[in-house]
Structure 1
Amino acid sequence: MKPGSKLKSAVCDTEVMVIRCGEGTIECGGAPMGDAKPETPDTLSPDHSGGTLMGKRYVDANGTFELLCVKPGKGSLAVSGVALSIKDAKPLPASD
Structure 2
Amino acid sequence: MNAPAPRTGDQLASTVCDTRVIVVRAPAGGAPEIACGGSPMVPASSQGDAAPAKPGGGEAATLIGKRYVDAAGTLELLCTRSGTGELTCGGVPMTLKTAKPLPASD
What is the TM-score normalised by the length of structure 2? 0.81
CA contact (8 A) 1:21 1:66 kept: yes
> Which of 76, 90, 94 is residue 100 of structure 2 equivalent to?
90
The counterpart of 1:32, out of the listed 36, 40, 50, is 40
Matched residues, number: 96
Give the residue type in structure 1 aligned to 2:40: P
Q: Is the 8 A contact 2:18 2:50 kept in 1?
A: no
Return the alpha-carbon distance in structure 1 between the equivalents of residues 99 and 36 of structure 2: 23
Amino-acid identity (%)? 47
Cα distance per residue 1:51-80 (max 9 Å; x no partner): 101111000121011100000000010012
Q: Which of these residues, 65, 71, 80, is aligned with residue 61 of structure 1?
A: 71
Q: Secondary structure at the match of 2:35?
A: strand
Q: Tell me what 1:12 maps to.
A: 17
TM-score (norm 1): 0.89
Which stretches in structure 1 are left out of the alignment for 5+ residues?
Answer: none
SS at match of 1:27: strand
Aligned mates of 2:50, 2:9 — CA distance in 1: 26
Contact kept? 2:14, 2:50, Cα under 8 Å: no
Q: Is this contact kept in 2: 1:30–1:45, CA < 8 A?
A: no
Contact 1:52 1:76 in 2 (8 A): yes
Residue range with higher mean Cα deviation, 52-61 or 38-47: 38-47
Does 2:26 correspond to 1:21? yes
* Aligned equivalent of 1:80: 90
**How big is the shift at 1:39?**
4.5
